[in-house]
Chains A and B, each alone.
Chain A
Amino acid sequence: MHRQLMKGNEAVVRAAILAGCRAFYGYPITPASEITEAAATLMPKVGGVFVQAESEVAAVNMLYGGSSAGVRCMTASSGPGISLMQEGISYLAGAELPCVIADITRGGPGLGNLGSEQSDYHQVVKGGGNGNYKTLVLAPNSVQEMADLTRLAFELADRYRNPVMLLADGFVGQMMEPVEFAGKALEPGTPSWAVTGERETRGNMITSLHMKFDDLERHVRHLEEKYRCAEQLEARVERSFTRDAEIVLVGYGIVGRILKAVVAEARAAGLRVGLLRPITLYPFPTSEFRAIASHARCVVVVEMSTGQLVDDVRLALNGACPVEFYSRVGGNVPGHDEVMALVTRLAREMDLQARLEEMGVAHA
């Protein structure tokens, strides 16, 4: 067990190479550039490919090419670049090509700013490309998870033959924490469907085009079936003190970390508060939300967006439990004290006044 200090963005590239990734196509953008820069240094060392593309449009189409050729490959970008990649992501999903795309989110819309937001949730989780497709989305909250979920992302991409996205905020990309790279370096293998320029693969063909209506319907139903499987098998969450929680806090990425501090403080003050942190945003951990609805009296979603994750939480709960929402945007972070104040107010409103007074908690 050896842990070394590293930025989240730097951990992503290392974990990717260990997972057998041997091609990276990138276009610079803050706060994702360290990923592209590290790939530029490291890919050639391991006999891999690095190309700085002329745009994110080109980068995502290089992913399409690399993946067609059966290579584990990835790219990384942020909001505006991910927007440009949407065309390619739809093609990748349509042609059933595995690959990994990291979105280290910044402020938006438009150029927004370089601060951290979580405002790409909709374009990443719901997808901005055309057609009936989904991408699997993993949301790391630490440098360790940047490494672990990158490895998982490559596994899932191959298992489902589908793009997998890593959705992290700028904080998680930029911060340094100890990280341990678990497991050995994987041998980059070549899937049987790939087009490699060899006799054995000459009959292979990659396309998202299905001219006959019945063919396309069959194809779309097949994709749908894969997504249903993923929904059954791949949803992941972190639970913290949810079992007896009356107030359940919900947030992903850096917000999940802040909420953990709030839970600790609230518990110390005798409030029954817990945390449910989605690790997969698609598949959405719906059943976990249904489960807490049986005892939670209120769910509080905290986001660095004006309300995107909260839509999915509401859908999952389907009215079973009231949902409160708190957000900061523009690069501002929901302060742990701000959330604590909200939790305290809710606790009071929820008829917990008596207990609060007993505990002597005096939050405004």
Chain B
Amino acid sequence: MPEIGNTYEVAFERPKSMYAQFDRKEDLQHTTHYCAGCGHGQVHKLLAAAIDELGIQDRTVLTSPVGCSVFAYYYFDVGNVQAAHGRAPAVATAIERSRPGATVISYQGDGDLSAIGSAEILHAANRGENITVIFVNNAIYSMTGGQMAPTTLVGQRSTTSPGGRNPATEGYPLRMSELLATLEAPVYIERVGLGDNRQIAQARRAIKRAVENTTKRLGFSMVEVLAPCPTIWKMSPVEAQRWVKDVMEKSYPLGVMRDRVKDAEPKPEPMVAPGLAEIPGLLGIEAAVPGEASRSGHRRRGKAVHLGVRVAGFGGQGVLLLGEVLAEAGLEAGLEVSWLPSYGPEMRSGTSNCHVRLASEPIDTPLVTMPEILVAMNEPSLRKFDASVKAGGWVIYNGEEFPAELMREDVHVLAREFTREAQALGDPRVANMVMLGALLELAGVVKAEAIHKALTKLVKSPKWVELDERALARGRVMAREEREQVSRGCGVMVG
């Protein structure tokens, strides 16, 4: 700066938060790309001044929209993120959530905010995101050459409402500030104008207030600015400014729509992140027990195991849990395991089934299309899966009357009223565990200790564990009796 002597006093200068020269711009780096009399230029200046006055240049992150202000990053010497059309509030949300020390400002036009981005602004406001939204309403899509926006006035001509906006088919100007002021969360919403100097002075105060709220982490603040667009409106800058005041303002009354600044509590400070060493524990990732080999997936000795099980029944019968306990127990016993819930049309309609595999070798497919054991907890499940059981396998069926037409010569059947057995033990809901007990006895692949571990892991209440243990024991006895009766082994499953 040249010395001009003591008499020189700076009354007005470019805000520091604006670049002195617009290096990011292609050419004409000392002028903006905005037309003469454009509201965006004025709003830029007011916003930069607010950033200066609040001393937050370093911490400010500005998201620019798609529209005439898409190039805001040419001008603002702050952190800049350019967003897709209408999505700036979502972008700003995420920046602020992860960087609560930043002051995040979403700068948007009326097409951007009230049309394509209407969902994003509504929900950012409703979540009370700690951001400032600067909403520049010029009642038209300017950048694309003057098409109708949701904010276009009744009767206003545009390239897509050449006869003037007709409310019968195009609806009425969308008053976003009033709309958002119906929400609980926003702390501050005001509509201002650029219609004359007094209005501009008020716009300046409102913008600063909004940004200040954000720096104090008070929540969602928005300033809607009625702004001239002389080029698209086909007016001189002076006419356009007058039109804002004389015409636009009638559809968009100026004023404060929401002010809860005084009562607003700052957002809570983010928690101190836990140390890295704590993270696995917080995620429920189990630490290896020293010397533990059982879960390594490489059982060192014992017979080869290849067991495929299908469990099916009504939702609520504990079909999935039965399978889960079996898989967990298999893992405890050092086997490879997989559990796959039925995933098809039946998912939501009351029946369910799952595929379980236990094997001494790595499992190729987790799907069990030909089970060695079928656990059918009801008749429809039996009918659906009976034919799929491998020759030499078992069907464990919850019912004494095994339908004669489903009888197969080549499979063993254990058909009992398991639900009644469970009832006798104290609760019909443990029928699944009685059936699992029978399955374990017939398959002979996992020891009681592994089952106990699996149960205590998956079933939280000790009362239920105790009942489940009795149910399992009962099931084992039932299967043993059956097997002795037919005096036939079941080597097929474990061979």
- A110-156 CB contacts (< 8 Å) to partner B: 113-116
Number of A-B contacts (CB under 8 A): 254
> Knowing A61-B83, A116-B343 touch, does A1 contact B296 (C-beta < 8 A)?
yes
User: Which among A17, A30, A66 is the interface contact of B279 at CB below 8 angstroms?
Assistant: A17
Q: Which of B266-282 contact A (CB under 8 A)?
A: 270-274, 276-277, 279-280, 282
- Residues in A lying within 8 Å of B, measured CB to CB: 1-5, 14, 17-18, 22-23, 25, 30-31, 42, 44-47, 49, 51, 53-55, 57-59, 61-66, 68-69, 71, 73, 87-88, 91, 95, 113-116, 170-171, 174-178, 181, 184-187, 195-199, 201-202, 204-209, 211-212, 254, 257-258, 260-261, 264, 331, 333, 335-337
Shortest Cβ distance from A240 into B: residue = B364
| Cβ of B337 under 8 Å from chain A | yes
Q: A2-B289, A205-B24 are in contact. Are A65 and B81 (CB under 8 A)?
A: yes
Option from A5, A113, A116 in Cβ contact (under 8 Å) with B331: A5
The 7 closest A-B pairs by CB, nearest first: A197-B102, A65-B94, A47-B273, A65-B91, A207-B82, A2-B288, A61-B90
- Do B279 and A202 have beta carbons less than 8 Å apart? no
Query: Does B347 lie at the interface of the complex (its beta carbon under 8 Å from any beta carbon of A)?
Result: yes
Bound state CA distance, A69 and B62, in angstroms?
A: 12
Known: A2-B287, A58-B120, A91-B84. A202 touches B340 (CB 8 A): no
Q: Is B295 an interface residue (CB 8 A)?
A: yes
State A201–B120 Cα separation when bound (angstroms): 26
B352 within 8 A of partner (CB)? no
- Measured CB to CB, the closest approach of chain A to B289, in angstroms, equals 7
With beta carbons under 8 angstroms apart, the residue of A1, A54, A88, A258 that contacts B288 is: A1
What's the nearest-Cβ distance from chain B to residue A84, in Å?
A: 11
CA distance A255 to B119 in the complex (A): 39
Q: In whole Å, how far is A126's beta carbon from the nearest beta carbon of chain B?
A: 21
The answer, yes or no, to whether B103 is at the interface (CB within 8 Å) is yes
Alpha-carbon gap, A257 to B462, bound state (A): 38
Find B78's partner among A30, A184, A202, A211 (CB 8 Å cutoff). A202
Q: Are A197 and B331 interface neighbours, CB within 8 A?
A: no
Contact present for A174 and B87 (CB under 8 Å) = no
Question: A116 — which chain B residues lie within 8 A by C-beta?
Answer: 343
Contact in complex: B344, A69 (CB < 8 Å):
no
Tell which of B57, B73, B343, B369 touches A115, judged by Cβ atoms closer than 8 Å. B343
Which of B289, B344, B364 contacts A257 (CB under 8 A)?
B364
Output the least CB separation between A161 and chain B (Å).
Answer: 15
Given A51-B94, A260-B365, 15 further pairs, Cβ under 8 A? A22-B273, A23-B98, A46-B283, A51-B127, A55-B119, A57-B90, A59-B90, A113-B344, A115-B343, A178-B297, A204-B80, A205-B79, A211-B26, A257-B365, A257-B366
Say whether B224 faces chain A, with CB atoms less than 8 Å apart. no
Mask, B217-248, CB within 8 Å of A = 1, is: 00000000000000000000000000000000
A and B contact pairs by CB, cutoff 8 A, 23 listed: A1-B288, A3-B331, A4-B285, A5-B339, A22-B273, A54-B123, A58-B123, A61-B94, A64-B84, A64-B87, A66-B97, A69-B95, A71-B94, A71-B98, A174-B343, A177-B363, A178-B295, A185-B277, A185-B279, A197-B101, A254-B365, A258-B367, A261-B365
Which residues of chain B are near A61, meaning CB under 8 Å? 83-84, 87, 90-91, 94, 120
B97 touching A197, Cβ below 8 Å: no
Residues on the B chain within 8 Å of A25, using CB: 94
Would you call B286 an interface residue if the criterion is a C-beta within 8 Å of the partner chain's C-beta atoms?
yes
Which residues does B use to contact A, with CB under 8 Å? Answer: 24, 26, 57-61, 63, 70, 73, 77-84, 87, 90-95, 97-99, 101-104, 119-120, 122-123, 127, 270-274, 276-277, 279-280, 282-289, 292, 295-297, 324, 327-328, 331, 336-341, 343-345, 347-348, 363-367, 369
Contact B338 A62 (CB under 8 A): no
Residues of the A chain whose Cβ atoms lie less than 8 Å from the Cβ of B94: 23, 25, 49, 51, 61-66, 68-69, 71, 73
Chain B hits for A254, CB < 8 A: 365-367
- Which residue of A1, A58, A261 contacts B364 across the interface (Cβ within 8 Å)? A261
Which residues from chain A contact B70 at a C-beta distance below 8 Å?
A: 209
Q: Which residues of chain A have C-beta atoms less than 8 A from B93's C-beta? A: 51, 62, 65
Other-chain residue from B61, B279, B324 in contact with A197 (beta carbon distance below 8 A): B61
Q: Are B101 and A333 in contact (CB under 8 A)?
A: no
**Cβ contacts under 8 Å, B282 to chain A:** 42, 45-46
B119 touches A54 (CB 8 A): yes
On whether the beta carbons of A175 and B340 are closer than 8 Å, the reply is yes
Taken together as a complex, chains A and B put the C-alpha atoms of A185 and B281 apart, in Å, by: 11
Of B80, B87, B92, B331, which one neighbours A205 at CB under 8 angstroms?
Answer: B80
Q: Tell whether A58 pairs with B340 under 8 Å between CB atoms, given A5-B331, A42-B282, A196-B102.
A: no
Is A181 in contact with B280, judged by CB distance below 8 angstroms? yes
**In the complex, which residues of chain A have a beta carbon less than 8 angstroms from the beta carbon of B365?**
254, 257-258, 260-261, 336
Cα-based distance from A217 to B473 in the complex (angstroms): 73
CA distance A146 to B400 in the complex (A): 43
CB pair B84–A206 under 8 Å, yes or no, is no
Q: Which has the most chain A C-beta neighbours within 10 Å: B99, B273, B348, B367?
A: B99
Closest Cβ–Cβ distance, residue B321 to chain A (whole Å)? 12
Q: Is the CB of B366 within 8 A of A177?
A: yes
Q: A5-B327, A47-B270, A206-B82 are in contact. Are A178 and B336 (CB under 8 A)?
A: yes
Contact present for B84 and A88 (CB under 8 Å):
yes
Q: A45, A260, A336 — which one has the most chain B CB atoms within 10 A of its CB?
A: A45
Assembly CA distance A260 to B338 (angstroms): 15
B87 touches A51 (CB 8 A): no
Please give me the residue from chain B that is nearest to A66 by CB atom: B94
Which residues on B sit within 8 Å (CB–CB) of A185?
276-277, 279-280
Complex Cα distance A187/B277, Å?
Answer: 10
